Amino acid sequence: MGLRPLLALLFLLLIAAAGGLLYLFNTTVLVHIADPVTQSFVLNASAIFLAIFVMGVGIVLSILAGSIGAPLRHLVKALDAFAERGERIPLDNSALSPREVHMLEHSFTSLADRVQTAHERDGEVSRVKSDFISTAAHQLRTPLTGIRWALEALQKSSLNEDQKQLVDNAETKSKELVAIVGTLLDISSIESGKYKYAFAPVEVLPLVDEVARDFSRLATERGVSLLYIKGKDLVPQVRADRERIKWVLTNLIENAIRYTPSGGSIRLSTDVSPSNKVRVSVRDTGIGILPKDRQNIFERFFRGGNAVAKENEGNGLGLYIARTIATDHGGDLEFTENKDGPGTTFTLTLPIAAGPA
């Protein structure tokens, strides 16, 4: 119940109580007064007293409503603005407000100041980290590219089997390092607002089919069944950067294969959501995501405890980048725990293209 209805109810109760007491007083006293003039005087005095009492209570409750209710409503509005948008609304510091209301306003102002200071400090730390990552990645790219070229040249030279195996392993690792550097540069571009997209109408079904075929061999090697279930309904084009969305699908399928034990399965499917967006789902029967890790799964550099225990590889950046790409497209990337078995289902949603390509 709000403050105004509560005060109104209190007002009515006080009036009722005062009226009842006066009625009891009059009925008790008047029976002992025989003089009509005196009786009339007592009745008039009682009526005047009741009127003064009602006016006094009304004035007091009105002052309370103004001095407590209005500042509290303004404080709630300020809390909502700060929580939703980080906006600071000046508080109404009325001199008539009780000390407790001023204490509450002071506590909110102090808390908002601390939150804002912490946010600014975190932003500065994040900026320094991003600058360092960007600088380090750019510095590493050139020597790593040179190493990769040298190893590719060595592969074409005359080598015995042992030497060839060593060079092949080194060349594979150099590719992984180059990929990591590329991921770090993507992070830097995302956080600096320089991550560029080439939006155009994209056919979803051929794209998903292409990515599924790219991973068919890896899935077979891992003993995992990879199947793309094409729906009967027509899936419209989406407005997207084809290469970026391919990267997202690649990351999701690669993760599904990596964390699904041999004998498991991965199912890809496409449909249109009730909100009129195209959905691409990747459902696996893998190790799943621990409940304690679910709220952090899309954070930078985060990897679930069971994921780390199963696979040492991974930097905890793939899902962060994938979701960023999805939201930048006007869509989203979400996950749910499979209810009818082990594993997880990741669902990518994308807006439908406005017109034909």
DSSP 171-225: HHHHHHHHHHHHHHHHHHHHHTT------EEE-HHHHHHHHHHHTHHHHHHTT-E
**80 touches 74 (CB < 8 A):** no
- Contacts of 57 by beta carbon, 8 Å cutoff, 6+ apart: 11, 14, 15
Q: Strand 277-284 vs strand 344-351: parallel, antiparallel, or unpaired?
A: antiparallel
Residue 252 confidence (pLDDT) = 95
Residue 91 confidence (pLDDT) = 74
Q: Tokens for 270?
A: 């496409």
How many whole angstroms separate alpha carbon 46 and alpha carbon 235? 82
Q: Tokens for 132?
A: 């360092």
Q: Residues of the chain whose pLDDT is less than 50? A: 1, 3, 356-357
**192 touches 137 (CB < 8 A):** no
Q: Rounded to an integer, what is the distance from CA 45 to the centroid of its chain? A: 66
How many whole angstroms separate alpha carbon 88 and alpha carbon 113? 10
Q: Tokens for 36?
A: 């009509």
Is residue 300 helix, strand or coil?
coil
Residue 329 confidence (pLDDT) = 93
Terminal CA-to-CA distance of the chain, rounded, Å? 57
Q: For residue range 67-126, what is the model confidence (pLDDT) as tens digits?
A: 666 777 777 788 888 777 777 877 766 666 667 777 777 788 888 888 888 878 877 776
At residue 213, φ and ψ (nearest 5 deg) are: -65, -35
Is residue 59 helix, strand or coil?
helix
**345 touches 336 (CB < 8 A):** yes
**How far is residue 46 from each of residues 19, 42, 192, 245, measured CA to CA in Å?**
9, 6, 77, 83
- Contacts of 67 by beta carbon, 8 Å cutoff, 6+ apart: 94, 96, 97, 98, 101
How many whole angstroms separate alpha carbon 272 and alpha carbon 103? 53
DSSP label of 68: I
Is residue 286 helix, strand or coil?
coil
